[in-house]
Structure 1
Amino acid sequence: MTILDPVPQNMIIFKSMEAKNTRWTWRVTSGLVIIFWLVMMGLLLNRYHIAPVNISKIFHTPLKNKEEWASIYLHNQKVGYSVTTVTKNEGGYLLGEQTFMQLRVMDQPQQVTTYTICQVDDDFLLKSFNFRLVSGLITFSAEGEVKGHKLDLTVETGGEKSRKEIPVPQIPFLSSALKPFLVHRGIKVGDHYKLPLWDPATQSYRIITVHVEKKEPIILNNQSFECFCIRTDLMGMTLRSWISEDGDLLKEEGPMGIIIVKSTKEEALSDITTESLDILSTISIPCSPIERPRMSKYLKIRLSGLPLTGFDLDSGRQTVKGDTLVVVQEIIKQEGSYQIPNRNQLYIDYLQPSLLIQSNHPEIIKAAQGIIGDERNSVKVAQLLTQWVYSHIEKKPVLSIPSALEVLKQKVGDCNEHSALLTALLRAVGIPARPCVGILYSEGRFYYHAWVEAFLGDWVSIDPVLNQIPADATHIKFIEGDLSRQVEMLRVVGKIRVEVIA
């Protein structure tokens, strides 16, 4: 791949990018899609390859009931363990869960920690929860309490707390409550449930379907166990579980080669590999080569493997007809620019702060104003902010929940962190902006990626990892919006196929 070709007149690139293929590839790859995948499967991650931290010490709540341990495998390689607890108390039940996983992401070793503890009622419906995710230097915490049909949510990231009330049509479950709920109700073949699920990491409310398909024997440690086979479906992902007649979870199989098997504590903690497969490479999408992709202004592809409804594929520079998608790179028109701040009420939603896009935080505002100085032309301001993010954020894979304030402080991350920070900086100076997720071509494959769209007279795609305004035409947007929408990319992972036409 050549990255020093002449730059098209309508594309702004401030300095050449490195030509090292390995470094280039992980720059464009989204670690957030792994977090979506793991969290939605109820896998709660720990970062230390040692005995697990006692959950009761983290959240100052006594947990006394028995622990259930499991080993986690990815493509037949052991990558971690999980431990869960259930305790009866006056309010119902106290549930704790913790899991360790050690993964390789673009040849970079990654360890991620999450802990969850939640109070549920006697029917295992959520009353309150604490959640923490730690990845390297990055920590994300959330706690919430159900009040009627609202969830009072507090998020802590970047050393700051933010609070928000989120409407919930029905009182939800957490994923850790699903198995005890089924066991408590009594499992019967043919049982079918549609249950509201709250995910604290992605701040999303979804309906999950659970179906007890059949009873069948499985072999575990050379012993045969009669089990209920249970299918769980969420956003196009299918998870199968085998639960014994005694209510023990013996085995789970999830997307993309992940298997969880009941173990003793000693078995769970031992023999965790440090040389697992690179997970992002295993979920990338092969295709025919595209010449000079970073210079591309036009792309025509055919998408297959899943229904294309419910995505933001047919918008802006992208048009869809049937299964064929065409991307035509935008042309930035200086005459269409404006003096910031943008005061058009049509775009007010794209100027608002959120729990993770903290555009109203004094540190974000101060940074943005310091970058742009006296410049007020919207196009030139966007160029300055993009250049700054490109130059000042170390490009390193991160498995965490992207927070603009955290990125500003730590100055490290992959495409998700770059996009979160740039979105916040743009909004802070009065330029409507929204994060986007989709796929991006590199070296014969499409990888999951995140970038930004900013309103500069028209909506323009901006890639702060590649320092592109507008982004090249191999950026295929599937979703625009915040984290609760981005999680819908789970419908794509492991299913989408791409055929390059032109």
Structure 2
Amino acid sequence: MSARRLTSPRALAAVLVLLLWSGGLGFLVRREYFRPNTERLAEAATRVSPGAVYFAVMQGNRQIGFASSSIDTATTTISVDDYLVADLPVGGRTHRASARTHVVLTRALHTKAFAVTFEGDAGPIVARGRVVGDSLLILMLATGGNTPVDTQRIKLSGPILLPTLVPLAVALGESPAVGKRFTLPVFDPVGLSPRTVAFRIAAESSFVVNDSSALDRATGTWRGVQPDTLHAFRVVTGTGAGAAGFSGWIDEQGRVVQTSQLGFDLRRLPYEVAFENWRLATANGAGATSAVTQDRDILETTAIGANRHLDASISSLRVTLGGADLRGFDTRSPRQTQRGDTLIVTREPAVAFDAAYLLPDGGRRIMPELTMAEPLVQSNHPEIVRLAQRLSRGQRDPRVVAERINKWVYDSLAKRITFGIPSALQVLRARAGDCNEHAQLFVALARAAGIPARVDAGLAYIHGKFYYHAWPEIYLREWVSVDPTFGQFPADAAHLRFTVGGLGRQAEMIRLMGRLRIDVVGEGS
């Protein structure tokens, strides 16, 4: 497979995360909004009753997965369990991915503990959290195998609450009404940081939902019976929410009725219709490995056709952007200039590679936070440190070392589309992956060598289309884009950057998918 085809399913992994959050995952940090409402929320908690709801995960008219959300109550606690499994069509075949969350709340709806498990091609990732005194969150992240557990201590300004309280606060708090707005500080467990997220009630309507199911003996499948009419409200997230937001229809009990992300829907159905029909349809095992056509492949359906052919390794590019709200995106950098709807990208000149510091410690003094390890970027692990030292070989010029790392990653990783949330250490051991794995490992090796590095994401031109893609940036005299997936140092001007940062930030690009238009108006070689 050509390296030029290895575009980014990581932002697409965020779709699965967002669907899970829509079913009731994520964590709300209690700050200004909740302080005057503590008694109301505690009273609302007494009205939370045990029960479960089930969903079919749909792509158009095709069911590709199943989800459930259940609540159990005890004398002093409330437990919430959410599960989603889906066969996602990415890169020419389906990839089975699943996520599971278990949260324990006090009866006042304060989170005591949680566990989140995500499984995809890259292996399982497990995040466990424990709240101490409503002022400290101890977060433990494990990526399987012999990878050490990464433990973080995150200060809280108050109790953290189940994200289901976005719909619950709407349904069980003040009377919901179209136009009403909420501003909630949300702790995003993907980005591992709090965000202030704006919500509003955009509409209200009625939905007919079947309460039970019956077996159709002629077809051997289940169908819904006993229809019930639900009064529902559409909650919409403002810009900047990333993986911490929620948009969808909820009923008067605060339960999700329906929600959509990037052409995928969660549709509330009786258990047998949601699960048994899907289980029977995939009983032969083909669902997790079958080939998919381009009209279903997310990489192809989210790609943006170019209005003209571009030569390889262009040095400058001018495009106009339309159809999407670009507020909040990282479209300005030393190589990118935005003027209205026009984006101009110019590959870095030679002077940009004349570093303003020397290794091994100069970069760490300039940007300590971008030379440090972080979850999934284990730049302090002995295996990564040893490789970085071997590639550096005592060289003090960060440009030379960065180019060696870029070449090593390009030459050493098998080019293979994967679906998951990779860690640098997993990638080093597996020696395979797509642009996400290449970028993640490069950043870890660069930081281990003392070079400030971070991940960019946006679109890259490949064979007549702009595909969603990820690549690293390194700081020398200024920020410079490189691409170990394509073996480019620096990256060509056909890389259009929209975000800087990890999965939590990359999830913002979902706002562009299916909306953004690109017209090429000029290029240079």
TM-score, L = length of structure 1:
0.83
Distance 2:155 2:342 in 1: 37
- Shift of the alpha carbon at 1:246? 6.2
**AA aligned opposite 1:205:** P
- Shift of the alpha carbon at 1:101? 0.6
State yes or no: 1:203 paired with 2:172: no
1:254 paired residue number: 260
Within the candidate set 382, 387, 390, 1:362 is matched to 382
1:401 paired residue number: 421
Q: Kindly indicate whether the alpha-carbon contact (under 8 Å) linking 2:190 and 2:504 is maintained by their aligned counterparts in 1.
A: no
Query: Equivalent residue of 1:422, what SS?
Result: helix
- Shift of the alpha carbon at 1:149? 4.1
1:240 paired residue number: 248
Q: Percent identity?
A: 28
For 1:90-109, what per-residue CA distance to the aligned partner results, in whole angstroms no more than 9, with x for missing partners?
44311100011101111032
**AA aligned opposite 1:155:** L
Within the candidate set 405, 408, 413, 1:385 is matched to 405
Q: Structure 1 residues 168 and 442, CA, compared in 2 at 3 Å: closer, same or farther?
A: farther
1:343 paired residue number: 362
Structure 2 counterparts to residues 23-422 of structure 1, below 5 A: 24-25=4-5, 27=6, 29-42=7-20, 66-147=51-132, 148-157=134-143, 159-169=147-157, 171-180=159-168, 182=170, 184-185=172-173, 188-190=176-178, 192-212=181-201, 215-220=204-209, 221=224, 223=227, 225-235=229-239, 239-243=247-251, 249=256, 251-269=257-275, 270-271=277-278, 274=287, 277-292=296-311, 294-333=312-351, 336-337=354-355, 339-343=358-362, 345-422=365-442
**Aligned residue pairs: how many?**
459
**AA aligned opposite 2:191:** T
- Shift of the alpha carbon at 1:278? 0.8
**AA aligned opposite 1:403:** S
Distance 2:194 2:416 in 1: 30
Q: Which moved more, 1:205-214 or 1:408-417?
A: 205-214
Query: Equivalent residue of 2:118, what SS?
Result: strand
For 1:149-207, what per-residue CA distance to the aligned partner results, in whole angstroms no more than 9, with x for missing partners?
44322111252211122344554444345445555548644464333333323324333
Q: Kindly indicate whether the alpha-carbon contact (under 8 Å) linking 1:319 and 1:327 is maintained by their aligned counterparts in 2.
A: yes
Q: Structure 1 residues 173 and 495, CA, compared in 2 at 3 Å: closer, same or farther?
A: farther
- Shift of the alpha carbon at 1:306? 3.0
Distance 2:10 2:300 in 1: 14
Q: Structure 1 residues 400 and 373, CA, compared in 2 at 3 Å: closer, same or farther?
A: same
Distance 1:170 1:441 in 2: 46
Q: Structure 1 residues 170 and 422, CA, compared in 2 at 3 Å: closer, same or farther?
A: same
Distance 2:161 2:468 in 1: 29
Q: Structure 1 residues 181 and 34, CA, compared in 2 at 3 Å: closer, same or farther?
A: same
Query: Equivalent residue of 2:149, what SS?
Result: strand
For 1:231-256, what per-residue CA distance to the aligned partner results, in whole angstroms no more than 9, with x for missing partners?
2315367722142x56654x313133
Q: Structure 1 residues 341 and 175, CA, compared in 2 at 3 Å: closer, same or farther?
A: same
**AA aligned opposite 1:113:** S
Distance 1:335 1:172 in 2: 45
**AA aligned opposite 2:297:** D
Distance 1:214 1:450 in 2: 36
- Shift of the alpha carbon at 1:342? 4.2
Q: Which moved more, 1:376-385 or 1:484-493?
A: 484-493
2:214 paired residue number: none
**AA aligned opposite 1:161:** V
**AA aligned opposite 1:38:** L
- Shift of the alpha carbon at 1:138? 1.5
CA RMSD after TM alignment = 2.8
Q: Kindly indicate whether the alpha-carbon contact (under 8 Å) linking 1:356 and 1:404 is maintained by their aligned counterparts in 2.
A: yes
Q: Which moved more, 1:183-192 or 1:201-210?
A: 183-192
TM-score, L = length of structure 2:
0.79
Query: Equivalent residue of 1:41, what SS?
Result: helix
Q: Which moved more, 1:336-345 or 1:407-416?
A: 336-345
For 1:78-132, what per-residue CA distance to the aligned partner results, in whole angstroms no more than 9, with x for missing partners?
1101011101134431110001110111103211121101122334343321111
**AA aligned opposite 2:4:** W
Q: Which moved more, 1:101-110 or 1:141-150?
A: 141-150
Q: Structure 1 residues 168 and 395, CA, compared in 2 at 3 Å: closer, same or farther?
A: farther
Q: Kindly indicate whether the alpha-carbon contact (under 8 Å) linking 1:140 and 1:157 is maintained by their aligned counterparts in 2.
A: yes
Query: Equivalent residue of 1:434, what SS?
Result: strand
- Shift of the alpha carbon at 1:368? 1.4
Query: Equivalent residue of 2:308, what SS?
Result: coil
- Shift of the alpha carbon at 1:291? 2.1
Distance 1:103 1:156 in 2: 24
Distance 1:98 1:335 in 2: 48
Distance 1:335 1:499 in 2: 30
Q: Kindly indicate whether the alpha-carbon contact (under 8 Å) linking 1:44 and 1:115 is maintained by their aligned counterparts in 2.
A: no
- Shift of the alpha carbon at 1:422? 0.4
Q: Structure 1 residues 406 and 463, CA, compared in 2 at 3 Å: closer, same or farther?
A: same
Gaps of 5+ in 1: 1-17, 46-63
